[in-house]
Amino acid sequence: MWSCITDFFTYETTKSVVVKSWTIGIINRVVQLLIITYFIGWVFLYEKAYQVRDTAIESSVMTKVKGFGVYNDKVLDVADYVTPTQGASVFCIITKLITTENQVQGYCPETEKKYACTQDSDCTKYLNKPGGYGILTGKCVPFNATLKKCQIRGWCPAEIDTIETTPMMEVENFTIFIKNSIRFPSFNYTKGNFLPTITGDYIKTCNFDMVKHIYCPIFRVGDVVRYAQQNFTTLAQKGGVIGIKISWMCDLDKSDDQCNPSYSFTRLDAMSQKNAVSPGYNFRFAKYYKMENGTDYRTLVKAYAIRFDVLVNGNAGKFNMIPTLINMVAAFTSVGVGTVLCDIILLNFLKGAEQYKAKKFEEVSDSPVECKTNGLYLSQLSLRHNETIMRSSDSGAFSIEHYS
């Protein structure tokens, strides 16, 4: 029993073989240096492995558009061209309108080309099916002096959306004001995109610029479109979606004024640029009125718009003991990985590999004798040394001279 206890309270250490060879020595140190450089340079300094990160950014975005445009001889203001009007992070600026006024419920001819007809039998195949603008009745009725079209039941007269109109070019000079507040919950850190250095007078006059005014929260639509590498005229003609990205990459170990937003711009509906089937972005809405006799009538609007999506992302890091320790342990352990490579080279490719092998691996005899105590085998089995040891010190480290 007692011997069991004494056998347990022992310490085992590994015996090392020191190889004095320039080749393997240099390889070993170079590999170690590479591993240390990688950990210090990339893992610690660049990736900041000594920090804990908070990626769950909380954010609120408020927007406001300003500017006046002229369309069809009417001056349009914000309430006319911005939808939805709440000033959220997603909003549309209407650039082109196709309006159909005074629509009432009733019967009228279709306007789409494919519903052209000469007699009722041309239209019966569409009977009770949804047409372009209403439910088809199966009758063929005159559209204008020369043309006949199938009749629909719905809001009449039906919209004609093939008319060419020029977009409201003043949109290019409209400005978007963006107010963004963010919070990193795990550090309870809050910040907004108006930096403390920005004054009220500056905000009244500035326009965002990638070079000179990178923290100005007011963006000219034309500039945003240009930064997203788009042509304003085509975008206004067909509509589209532009992303305004606000990114917050904060190192909270540094001073507070180093945590700043950075803005970037992209076209989000890149697919509709290449695809001819559904290019751009448009939608319809209607304004309803009541006549004196109580029947409803409406103005239908087909709107082509540039939609802006304000997207906020970011993360913050701060020094913390736990990731620092874990990564330091990983770094120290990884330095040992170099020995695997050196062993492969040493035992296979180097001159005198056989000799090194003999020194590194010692044969174990299959009849343990000396260390057997009370029927218990010790973990240090008896070893039989086949090779003559050139030089060995009492510390248990062999030295093999191989300087050539």
Ligand X SMILES: *[C@@H]1O[C@H](CO)[C@@H](O)[C@H](O)[C@H]1NC(C)=O
175 labeled part of a ligand binding site: yes
Q: Is the peptide bond before 279 cis (omega within 30 degrees of 0)?
A: no
User: Residue 167 Cβ, how far from ligand X at the closest point, in Å?
Assistant: 10
Is residue 206 near ligand X by the rule CB under 6 A? no
Nearer to ligand X, 54 or 223 (CB): 223
What does the block give as tokens for 339?
Answer: 């020995």
User: Residue 168 Cβ, how far from ligand X at the closest point, in Å?
Assistant: 9
Q: What stretch of H or E contains 131?
A: none
Is residue 173 near ligand X by the rule CB under 6 A? yes
| Residue nearest ligand X (C-beta atom) | 173
Question: In whole angstroms, what is the distance from residue 210 CA to residue 224 CA?
Answer: 10
Tokens 């004609």 -> residue: 160
Nearer to ligand X, 122 or 170 (CB): 170
Residues 258-277 that bind ligand X (CB under 6 A): none
User: Residue 204 Cβ, how far from ligand X at the closest point, in Å?
Assistant: 16
Binding segment for ligand X among 167-175, 185-193, 204-212, 354-362 (CB under 6 A)?
167-175
User: Residue 177 Cβ, how far from ligand X at the closest point, in Å?
Assistant: 17
Is residue 169 near ligand X by the rule CB under 6 A? yes
Beta-carbon neighbour count of residue 22 at 10 Å? 10
Question: In whole angstroms, what is the distance from residue 66 CA to residue 44 CA?
Answer: 46
Is residue 207 near ligand X by the rule CB under 6 A? no
Listing DSSP states for 17-47 in one string gives EEEE-HHHHHHHHHHHHHHHHIIIIIIIIIS
User: Residue 222 Cβ, how far from ligand X at the closest point, in Å?
Assistant: 8
Environment class of residue 233 by beta-carbon count within 10 Å: exposed (0-12), middle (13-18) or buried (19+)? middle
Nearer to ligand X, 169 or 381 (CB): 169
Q: Are 306 and 242 in contact (CB under 8 A)?
A: yes
Give the annotated binding-site residues for ATP. Answer: 64-66, 175, 282-284, 302
Residues of this chain that interact with ligand X (CB under 6 A) are 169-170, 172-173
